[in-house]
Structure 1
Amino acid sequence: MSMLETVRIKAEVSDDNPLGYIVINKTDFNEDEHELFGDESAATGGKKADLQAALTAKGIAFPANATKADLQALLDQAPAQ
């Protein structure tokens, strides 16, 4: 029997959720809807907002609805400065 992989995603802190995260199936994770919590976010290369900031700093335009994968591809293709 195989184990189902899970990830922790950020969630609003409340009386019912004092830790600020919930656990979901890894297959249900959507980088455009969820933000990984804690150490798991470092393993995936950071946040979408970080990619947007890096592209903006390089003067590279991107669509407002670009996915994290799209943003990473643009950053990977950017010339080194």
Structure 2
Amino acid sequence: MKKVTLSIPLRDTEPVEVKGYEFTLPNGHQVVVHKSINGYGWSVSTKVKGLLMVYGKKTKKEAVQASIEISEKHVDGHYWNKLKEVN
């Protein structure tokens, strides 16, 4: 995993920059695992748009595993619509 800085868009405020680790999902999409913005655990966001994919996992490993499971179920890449299925 490569260390990167990601800009995450938030509603009604300026984007927030987070530091995390970039990796590629089995379907080829690039994502970043990082500490959750709210301070509760680990999250995974898409690299291109900074859209949240997984949040609130206790460990980085759990967050990565959850993102892999989502990517295997939803090969269309519309992860942000599926958050409730894993979290």
Q: How high is the TM-score relative to the length of structure 1?
A: 0.30
Q: How high is the TM-score relative to the length of structure 2?
A: 0.29
The structure in which a higher percent of residues are strand is 2
Greater gyration radius = 1
